[in-house]
Structure 1
Amino acid sequence: MDTLAKAIEEMKQQNFEEAARLFTKAIDENPNEPVGYINFGNLLLHLQDYERALRFYNRALELDEQAGTAHYGAGNVYYEQEKFTKAQEHFLRAIEAGLDEADVHFMLGMTFIHQDYQKLALPYLLRAAELNTEDADIQFQYGLCLAQNGQLQAAEQAMKHVLQLEEEHSDAFYNLGVIALHHEEAERALQYFNKAVSIQPEHRLAAHAKTQVEAALNHE
């Protein structure tokens, strides 16, 4: 096992000091290889040392401006700092460099979500959902974005898929209730809201919707 592989293994084991030492050694052994800088950047990102992480990613990009994983790492640094426009630039560059993975499409979509650009987010969340059909978070955000774009039938199917992955997903039940209300199916909506509240009693949106629907049904 070479130095870099050892460093990555130490990082996985959460032996961060030893990982840092080995990443430094790997960089010293191959100072013109971007992969060492990228992995050290990943360690620093995990430790929330954003300023230093960005320096390592930028050094990797100086060596190879098409290093997709360096752009992805830099995008994550900016995302964590809520600098969503800068994050977008790097996520896009990562995709352009050939990094066609669910996480990068998902993160790019989420930068648009945080800026209320739901229409722009949708194709990236769709691609993420296609690439990783088993990730409940990705599927949920995709379904939520569909709903925000008025595609309620597709959103309903996406939320049901979330529940296949995670049976106790209270937010999926809540959103299915909201969709049922849009279809004027109050009793079905109430079932979904009841389920959301039973899973998560402090779910305020579901609890409020439940009360409103119960009141409406009692007046009929």
Structure 2
Amino acid sequence: MADYVRAHEVFCALHRAEPHRMEGLDMHSTTLWHLKEEVELSYLAQQATDFDKLSSEACLQKEHDTALAFFQRAIQLDPSFTYAYTLSGHEYVANEDFEKAVNCYRHAIRTDSRHYNAWYGLGAIYYRQEKFEFAEYHFKRALEINPRSSLLHCFLGMVLHATQRCDEALTTLATAAELQPLNPQARFQRANVLITQQRYKDALAELHVVKNFAPRESSVHFMMGKVAKKLGRTEEAMKYFTLALHFHPKDNNQIKIAIDKINEPDHDDDDRM
């Protein structure tokens, strides 16, 4: 379910055909959540609530604490409602309460062992905690269930990179990019791996592709500046640093330091960006 736009189109067609159908609204709302369509998400929730105020699918709220209360209500109404456990886990992650998030994801897996979202959620937590062996295991379990997820391949590639398996990481991230060509994250992560391998020209080529997808993303311009500097292209590096500063004028100390040190040699530990 990596193609959320297409999934949204299908759900909309189904909703037009059967506007009072409650089954499947949990997956539709999850799709809208991934697309950050907050207005449409709220409208869908209101429609569901108006039709059936006691249904578990009607639970939706933006604020994390309130959302958690609604998801708990959904679980009370339907203890086998797997998505409610997973979405609760996502909310706990947003609040950085990882222990409760882990419990929610594990409960989701107990109710449905093929619920790949929960396997992904656990992997993402372990990745943040730098427990890379656990992260790899959970991402691979998720991929066994959903092998065509660009997101899952991307995160697995990041784990492989973190554990110094750069060639495997590049292959996995290439698969992620092929599965979802419009997702720049996989190419951004490939650039990170190429930088680790000191393949700076290849890294810059990947970053140019990412820049075309996200022309106003400060972090992309900043990384391009660092790579250009590695290649000895000082003027080009300054251009990218200046653009990075323009697109991210706040909390820009790192960019300013890079500009101030534009003519100083990089340290070896700068290869991981």
Same-fold status (TM-score > 0.5): yes
Separation (CA, whole Å) in 2 of partners of 1:206 and 1:134: 31
Q: How does 1:51-66 map to 2 (within 5 A)?
A: 51-66=99-114
Which letter does structure 2 place at the counterpart of 1:198? Answer: T
Distance 1:194 1:17, change over 3 A: closer
Of the three residues 136, 160, 163, the one matched with 1:115 is: 163
C-alpha RMSD of the superposition: 2.7
Q: How does 1:1-220 map to 2 (within 5 A)?
A: 1=48, 3-7=55-59, 9-10=60-61, 13-14=62-63, 16-98=64-146, 100-149=148-197, 154-164=202-212, 165-166=214-215, 169-178=221-230, 181=231, 186=232, 189-199=233-243, 200=245, 202-203=254-255, 204=257, 208=261, 210-212=263-265
Contact 1:174–1:206 (Cα < 8 Å) also in 2:
no
Which letter does structure 2 place at the counterpart of 1:197? Answer: F
Separation (CA, whole Å) in 2 of partners of 1:149 and 1:129: 19
Could you list the per-position Cα deviations for residues 150-194 of structure 1 after superposition, in whole angstroms to 9, with x for gaps in the alignment?
Answer: 65554332121122232551212321443xx3xxxx4xx122222
Contact 1:133–1:139 (Cα < 8 Å) also in 2:
no
Contact 1:170–1:195 (Cα < 8 Å) also in 2:
no
Which letter does structure 2 place at the counterpart of 1:68? Answer: Y
- Please give the TM-score of this superposition, normalised by the length of structure 2: 0.63
Segments of structure 1 that go 5 or more residues without pairing to the other structure are 214-220
Segments of structure 2 that go 5 or more residues without pairing to the other structure are 1-47, 246-252, 267-273
Separation (CA, whole Å) in 2 of partners of 1:162 and 1:171: 11
- Please give the TM-score of this superposition, normalised by the length of structure 1: 0.77
Aligned residues: 201
Separation (CA, whole Å) in 2 of partners of 1:80 and 1:50: 10
Separation (CA, whole Å) in 1 of partners of 2:159 and 2:74: 33
**Higher relative helix content:** 1
Could you list the per-position Cα deviations for residues 111-145 of structure 1 after superposition, in whole angstroms to 9, with x for gaps in the alignment?
Answer: 22222222222122222333444444432221232
Which letter does structure 2 place at the counterpart of 1:31? Answer: P
Contact 1:122–1:142 (Cα < 8 Å) also in 2:
yes
Contact 1:177–1:190 (Cα < 8 Å) also in 2:
yes
Separation (CA, whole Å) in 2 of partners of 1:100 and 1:21: 33
Separation (CA, whole Å) in 2 of partners of 1:24 and 1:148: 44
Greater shift in the superposed pair: 19-28 or 202-211: 202-211
Could you list the per-position Cα deviations for residues 89-113 of structure 1 after superposition, in whole angstroms to 9, with x for gaps in the alignment?
Answer: 1111101111532222222211222
Separation (CA, whole Å) in 2 of partners of 1:152 and 1:17: 44
Separation (CA, whole Å) in 1 of partners of 2:108 and 2:182: 32
Contact 1:109–1:125 (Cα < 8 Å) also in 2:
yes
Aligned partner of 1:217 in structure 2 is: none
